[in-house]
Amino acid sequence: MDFYLINIRAVFLITLAMILNSNVFAYGNPTLKVLLFNTSSHIDLKSYYGMNVKSHQHNSKGDFRVRFKYAGTGKILIDSRWKVSNSIWIESEDSIQIIRRGKSDGRRYRGKLELKPYKGGFHVINHVPIELYLEGVLNAEISTDWDLDVVQAQAIISRTFALFKREQRLNRSWHVTAGQNDQVYLGENITDHRSRVAIDNTKGIVVNYRGKLAQTYYHSNCGGVTEDPVNVWQFSLPYLKVKSVPYGQRDPKYFWEHSISFRELRQIASKAGLKAQNLNKIYIENRTESHRVANIVFSNGKQSFRMEATKFRKLAGYGKIQSLLFDTIQTTKGYRFQGTGHGHGVGLCQWAAKEMAEVGYRFDDILRFFYTDTNIQIYNRL
């Protein structure tokens, strides 16, 4: 039986290698539009090999440093000399460094930059091939010092996530943002050899479910059990299920606790629009299938007010209430929250995946564990 399983694995790896090198399944490395930030002030761009700056109203070549400043009424001023009212495109053979106002150094980005004016400022958008984009993601979302199989799994789900958003937002000004609302993207500054190896080894590979890109959500630590997305974002997906995860406890942040005073609790209630005066008690009303808190009730002894736990966590601060897998203990000053895990709990649990790789799971095993009934394929759409 063991010999049979080994042969199945060998056939899978050989088939995967053939697909990766097949012209039939050619992968086009699509360009992703990433909103880096918005500004109503100025930025400086630098490149060691010079930049080409182009718009409908301006064209210059070989600039090593250029300042772009918002000039009001939807216009951008270039080096205090040229004022333009449409998108400015900046290209270089080298990466381009962006220095924001008040800073002496900045991040570097490959691909093209677009400065797109709007009423109140301008958007800074990086047009970058997906595989280069991933180099600016991996070390921001995971440590590339971890076992290569978990880094490769992360490369695949980050690629899938970005391509899903690209298809969803194809005709918009940008496909993803560079922050935690999508994936953290920090440009060329954080790339390293291991991230490039993981990306090259999985080039073009995505997670599919019944012929379509899966929504490959992930998080830091599920605390021993994953969550159904219906309890986080009000929609379910057949491949994202509640399941027990017997890994991840080596995470130094696996167990956590945080105290919140009565005054802070009243501030949280007030932000949520509740009548916060004299609130002096909270209790957990109910839990989800994964045992995460679903609703919290605030009380002043006479009246009670319900709040969704996801909203409570956001208002209290994600860094303070690390997950919704918690219990509460009343103290003389407020409440102590004690829990496990870190994040929303949906999809791949990074710390569990780390331990799975260390005990012999390959990247495809890890992906199939967290994304039920999915398969991995080469992306071959536009």
pTM, two decimal places: 0.90
121 contact partners, CB below 8 Å, separation of at least 6 = 38, 39, 40, 41, 70
How far apart, in whole angstroms, are the C-alpha atoms of residue 165 and residue 53?
28
Split at pLDDT 50, 70, 90, the class of 159 is very high
Q: So what's the pLDDT on residue 140?
A: 97
How far apart, in whole angstroms, are the C-alpha atoms of residue 29 and residue 246?
36
Split at pLDDT 50, 70, 90, the class of 280 is confident
Q: Is the pLDDT of residue 256 over 80?
A: yes
Q: What percent of the chain has a predicted confidence (pLDDT) above 70?
A: 93
If one counts every other C-beta atom within 10 angstroms of the C-beta of residue 302, the result is: 6
Where are the domains positioned within the chain? 31-131, 137-177+189-232+346-378, 255-340
How far apart, in whole angstroms, are the C-alpha atoms of residue 188 and residue 132?
8
Q: Which residue has the higher pLDDT, 22 or 157?
A: 157
Q: Please, what is the average pLDDT of the chain?
A: 92
Kind of pairing, strands 348-349 and 218-219?
parallel
| Per-residue pLDDT tens over the stretch 131-141 | 999 999 999 99
Tabulate helix, strand, coil % of the chain (nearest 5): 25, 35, 40
**Residues counted in the chain:** 382
Q: Is the pLDDT of residue 339 over 70?
A: yes
Q: Is the pLDDT of residue 4 over 70?
A: no
Q: So what's the pLDDT on residue 25?
A: 57
